[in-house]
Amino acid sequence: MGSSLFRKKSLDKITADAAAGNTDGHGGGLNKVLGVRDLTFMGIAAVIGAGIFSTIGTAAYNGGPGIAFLFIITAITCGFSALCYAEFASRIPISGSAYTYAYVSFGEVVAWIIGWALILEYAIGNIVVAISWSGYFNNLLEGFHISLPGWLATNTSNAQLGYEEALKALAKGETMEQLTKHARMGYDAITNAPVIGTWKVILNIPAFIIVLLITILAYVGIKESKKSTNAMVIFKIAVIVGVIMCVGCVLCLYWV
């Protein structure tokens, strides 16, 4: 039992299986459809993640100037991670990423754990990105004087936190107009959400829709979705360059 859990595949065996099209999945190898440009764009997409657009503001607000050191530490960590993946790709130049490398180096059970850990990582990362995108989308709609109901623009936990914040502020004599946006949305979501039995229907519909669309795009295949990936990378680079070029035009005089 123990030996079967830690059984390994030799590098020669796994390379031969990949060359013959015999994989652990469906009996067929993956087609190589990405060129150097596509791989470069995917690498840039991984480097310029959603965090720089979403969580960086919160981190700067709570951490202050110390965020500069955060960038340095993160850059060093990412550099070591990149070296690890470079070693993976050079030693085992087939599909499978860290799962295949762990299978060859440590055994099946370790590879199984790493595979599920990666799936969990991607799932949690997608949730954070989707919620962040939803916030930007709602702000965009508000610019056109369109507002989604609170129970369709947030999730249950954030709605509850905002509701509790609103109750505390209202108890101190503040008006609804004086509440923070987070508190107003939470209060609106909790008080106006439709009820099914004892369950309040609160759903971040923009986040749900973007996850659904990206899932469909990924399901279609990498060959078809690489164009959209490249386009999004170009857009992200343009946004960052625009911010850098326009930073000198910011008037801190109006900051409060």
Q: Going residue by residue through the chain (256 aa), what tens digit of pLDDT does each one get?
A: 556 667 777 777 777 766 666 655 444 556 677 778 887 887 787 777 666 776 677 677 777 788 888 888 988 988 888 888 788 778 777 777 778 888 888 888 888 898 898 888 877 877 878 888 888 888 888 888 888 888 998 888 889 999 999 999 999 888 888 888 888 889 999 999 998 888 889 989 999 998 898 888 878 877 777 888 888 888 888 888 888 887 767 665 555 5
Q: CA-CA distances (angstroms) from residue 75 to 150, 195, 231?
A: 37, 47, 25
Residue 225 in contact with residue 217, Cβ under 8 Å?
yes
Cβ contacts of 107 within 8 Å, gap of 6 or more: 5, 6, 7, 8
In angstroms, the CA 192 to CA 119 distance is 35
pLDDT at 246: 79
pLDDT of residue 206: 92
Q: Which amino acid is at 218?
A: A
- Gap between the Cα atoms of 150 and 159, Å rounded: 8
pLDDT of residue 205: 92
Q: So what's the pLDDT on residue 209? A: 92
Whole-number Å distance between alpha carbons of 7 and 88? 19
